Amino acid sequence: MKIAILPGDGIGPEIVEQAVKVLNALGESFEMETAPVGGAGYEASGHPLPEATLKLAMEADAVLFGAVGDWKYDTLDRPLRPEQAILGLRKNLKLFANLRPAIMYPELAGASTLKPEVVSGLDILIIRELTGDIYFGQPRGVRVCPDGPFKGEREGFDTMRYAESEIRRIAHVAFQAAQKRDKRLTSVDKANVLETFQFWKDIVTEVHKEYPDVALDHMYVDNAAMQLVRAPKKFDVIVTGNMFGDILSDQASMLTGSIGMLPSASLDANNKGLYEPSHGSAPDIAGKGVANPLATILSAAMMLRYSLNKAEQADRIENAVKKVLAQGLRTPDIYEAGTTKVGTGEMGQAVLQAL
């Protein structure tokens, strides 16, 4: 089995290095090949998603991704900026299902800005559609406004859209994920304003008929943003579109206070996937050996479970991570008085030992 390793920018290389060490220690024979992406891709060959990198990702059985982005690329034209690599990989690999767990580790309860009783034991799964919506809809651009009260002026515009089969397939993923958990699914929309999301709501309601064992409710996105603050533990699985999912999944991960712990998976229709930590490239701490590698190590575990059919190995890694937390080891982002502060490499080493 072949894994494409795309470390990217900022802390990407150092956290991916730890995850690769962990994968290598499992006693499996994975073929791994590394390629540059994001700013590193641009430096190497003038494009954030070099052709050879895309080819490797398409051939591989799974992709382990670090993070991309750095201030120094902010002045590049948009098509050359690092984050375009992420959008390009999602689109080309047809990774339509983004799974983002927001889990509160009992040992890290103090890290949240929310009161312990509001978030302790938090365990929600956000499923974000990842290849449709206003992210990719055409037409888009800046044009002279063709009519209405602003006729003749310049305007920026984009197209939000979802086709029926796009909604159906993400709904199936979400209902099936809910079946494996507490069997409750909240579909987040803005059906009171948007045609796209009235359609979304109608289709999700139809698909629900195939999953009578799952309780479905519908919630407006503004209300969902409120309920995630007020009573996040009331959610089990949330499914929503690309744009709303971008906002809500980041909000939800911040509830835990330890975004350095949260993995993510982006899957296609055949469970091929791209796995990456939920946090970003953090260029301010890059190269200092203080970044938390656990989200990436846990992303590797998700990869074993979803794409490589090695659930046992995934369990081993997840248990090893729990063990190092129980041992009191903490990178600076999750450090609290009374625990032991360690760096990126030491944390990776500790997980290896715990395996």
Ligand X SMILES: CC(C)[C@H](C(=O)O)[C@@H](O)C(=O)O
**Inter-CA distances, 243 with 4, 134, 161, 221, 355, Å:** 27, 7, 11, 10, 38
Instruction: Please report whether residue 281 would count as binding a copy of itself according to CB under 8 A.
Output: no
Q: Known binder of ligand: residue 154?
A: no
Active-site residue, 190 included? yes
Residue 246 falls in the annotated catalytic set? yes
341 is annotated as an active-site residue: no
223 binds a copy of itself per the rule CB under 8 A: yes
For 21, what's the count of Cα atoms within 13 Å in the CB-facing half-sphere?
Answer: 20
Picked from ligand X, a copy of itself, none, the partner binding residue 248 (CB below 5 to 8 A depending on kind) is a copy of itself
144 is in an annotated binding site: no
The per-residue DSSP string of 317-337 comes to HHHHHHHHHHTTEE-GGG--T
CA–centroid distance for 299 within its chain = 9
CB 37 within 8 A of CB 26: no
Looking only at residues 84 through 113 of this chain, which bind a copy of itself when binding is defined by CB under 8 A?
Answer: 87, 113
The H or E element containing residue 275 is strand 273-277
Task: Reply yes or no on whether 147 is catalytic.
Answer: no
User: What SS3 class is residue 128?
Assistant: strand
| Distance separating alpha carbons of residues 136 and 90, to the nearest angstrom | 11
Q: How far is the CB of 269 from a copy of itself (least distance, A)?
A: 12
Residue from 52, 58, 163, 326 binding a copy of itself (CB under 8 A): 163
Cβ-based nearer residue to ligand X, 222 or 284: 222
Q: Which residues bind a copy of itself (CB under 8 A)?
A: 78, 81, 83, 87, 113-115, 118, 134-135, 137-138, 140-142, 145, 148, 150, 153-166, 190, 192-200, 221-223, 225-226, 228-231, 243-244, 246-248, 250-251, 253-255, 257, 259
Catalytic site residues?
135, 190, 222, 246, 250
